[in-house]
Amino acid sequence: MTNKVPVGVSNRHLHLSSADIETLFGAGYELKPLKELSQPGQYAAEEVVTVLGPKGSIEKVRVLGPARNQTQVEVSKTDSFKLGITPPVRDSGDLSESSSIILKGPKGQVELKEGAIIAQRHIHMHTSDAEKLGLKDKQLVSVKTEGKRSVIFNNVLARVKDSFALEFHIDTDEANCAELKNGELVEIIK
Amino acid sequence: MTNKVPVGVSNRHLHLSSADIETLFGAGYELKPLKELSQPGQYAAEEVVTVLGPKGSIEKVRVLGPARNQTQVEVSKTDSFKLGITPPVRDSGDLSESSSIILKGPKGQVELKEGAIIAQRHIHMHTSDAEKLGLKDKQLVSVKTEGKRSVIFNNVLARVKDSFALEFHIDTDEANCAELKNGELVEIIK
């Protein structure tokens, strides 16, 4: 059994609640899928919004679908300096006391009291992958990369679900630090 | 003996040759020191230039002094995407077949055939530090960081000289990836 896993680099993006979709894009609006993502059922939508912090803004931040229960904005540390916010490093969905942020769409604006995070790096895997790798949901592992900028990422969260496909999710800071590209194979170290 | 070393984060910057200083700022021009850097004799100058690549430009890139034999532009991988260049990861001074780049100053423009690199992370150390740490010039070590985004940086170059002060030099991508700040202590692993 190999312990290799393909890299998936996430640029800044956001997930929207149905209510916030209507505020930003109009009553009854539904996201238009643009491109399927590697995780089954997930897609990049045609829609983009402007994200505003106290120090600056970033335009054309991609919305991912489908809608979620709570709006979540995922930025990199680099982005956070531009915006002037200090988001915590968090697992997806864990938004308690995360950074406040403003979203601006073509039809309206949403002021989030909390919702902006830096995503904790993680490995999505199907239950069958986890069995083969001898890993459990929420287990922390390390991941080693090769090359001149070789690093070992510690505190990588294993996320196991029957709807997940095997992929190591990192943000653009992590990808640029280690010179990693989408689809590159890296090694899980337990 | 401790194996801890303080972090120094380098933002994009450049070193200029005397000839290029004159082209950019005018005949007979000399850099004006603004702030001493941690490495003895090195300083951030008052002068900034615009750096232009085929895809985009970055304004107000800081010049570091004193002048060097060859002009060298140090950017992050993140910067390189904005500029549209693919600089190699290199030790300072190793500019052969590095990226071409254009510099624009108040008095003129310099077109470099080569000169833009992504700096290879390295630890500056005085000869006495190297002795205490049991390291030699050009030896490769690893460096471990703590916290939620803990990483181990491999291929860290030890650079030993009597004019160096102990400091682990990384760029902004590496700092943001590991959530490191100037002066923070990290651990050398041989």
Tell me the DSSP string of chain B.
Answer: ---EEEEEEEPSEEEEEHHHHHHHH-TT----EEEE-SSTT-EEEEEEEEEE-SS-EEEEEEEEEEEESS-EEE--HHHHHHHT--PPEE-TT--TT-EEEEEE-SS-EEEEEEEEEEEPPEEEE-HHHHHHHT--TT-EEEEE--STT-EEEEEEEEEE-TT---EEEEEHHHHHHHT--TT-EEEEE-
Contacts of B76 in chain A (CB under 8 A): 176
pLDDT confidence of residue B182: 96
> How many angstroms separate the CA atoms of B141 and B155, rounded?
6
Shortest CA gap B36–chain A (Å): 24
Cβ contact (<8 Å) for B178 and A177? yes
Residue of A nearest to B86 (CA): A179
Residue A74 has pLDDT above 60, yes or no: yes
Cβ distance of A151 and B148 shorter than 8 Å: no
pLDDT at A116 over 60: yes
Omega cis (within 30) before A106:
no
Percent of chain A scored above 90 by pLDDT? 97
Is residue A2 over pLDDT 90? no
- A37 φ/ψ angles, rounded to the nearest 5 degrees: -95, 170
Which of the residues A151, A170, A172, A181 would you substitute to probe the B interface, choosing the one with the greatest number of B C-beta atoms within 10 Å? A151
| Measured distance CA(A173)–CA(A170) in Å, rounded | 8
**Contact between B12 and B76 (Cβ < 8 Å):** yes
pLDDT of the residue at A160:
97
**Residue B19 C-alpha, separation from nearest chain A C-alpha, in angstroms:** 33
Mean pLDDT of A102-123: 98
**Residue B77: its chain A contacts at CB < 8 A?**
176-177, 179
In A, what residues contact B, Cβ < 8 A? 76-78, 89, 120-121, 148-155, 172-174, 176-179
For residue range A136-189, list pLDDT tens digits in order: 999 999 999 999 999 999 999 999 999 999 999 999 999 999 999 999 999 999
pLDDT at B2: 75
User: B128: Cβ–Cβ under 8 A, 6 or more apart, which residues?
Assistant: none
Q: Report the pLDDT averaged over residues A8-18.
A: 97
Q: Choose among B121, B155, B177: nearest Cβ to A174.
A: B177
Specify the pTM. 0.94
How far lies A140's CA from each of A3, A18, A153, B30, B53, in Å?
A: 15, 33, 11, 54, 41
Mutate: best of B10, B177, B179, B186, partner A, most A CBs <10 A: B177
Residue A67: count other Cβ atoms within 10 Å of its Cβ. Answer: 17
- pLDDT, position A13: 98
Find the residue in B nearest to A87 (Cα).
B179
- Locate the domains of chain A by residue range: 11-119, 121-189
Q: Closest partner residue to A153 among B78, B89, B151, by Cβ? A: B151
> What is the predicted pLDDT for the residue at A190?
82
- Does domain A121-189 bear CATH number 2.60.40.1220? no
Rounded Cα–Cα distance for residues A114 and A98 (Å) = 5
> Whole-angstrom Cα distance, residue A62 to residue A22?
16
Q: What is the pLDDT of residue B65?
A: 97
Q: Supply angle C-alpha B39, B80, B150, rounded to 5.
A: 65
Of B148, B152, B176, the CB nearest to A78: B176
pLDDT at A101 over 80: yes
Report how far residue A182's alpha carbon sits from residue A178's, in angstroms, rounded to the nearest whole number.
Answer: 12
Backbone angles phi, psi at A61, to 5 degrees: -80, 125
Give tens-digit pLDDT for B20-67. 999 999 999 999 999 999 888 999 999 999 999 999 999 999 999 999
Q: Do A174 and B172 touch (CB under 8 A)?
A: no
Residues of B whose CB is below 8 A from A86:
none
- Where chain B has pLDDT below 70, the residues are 1
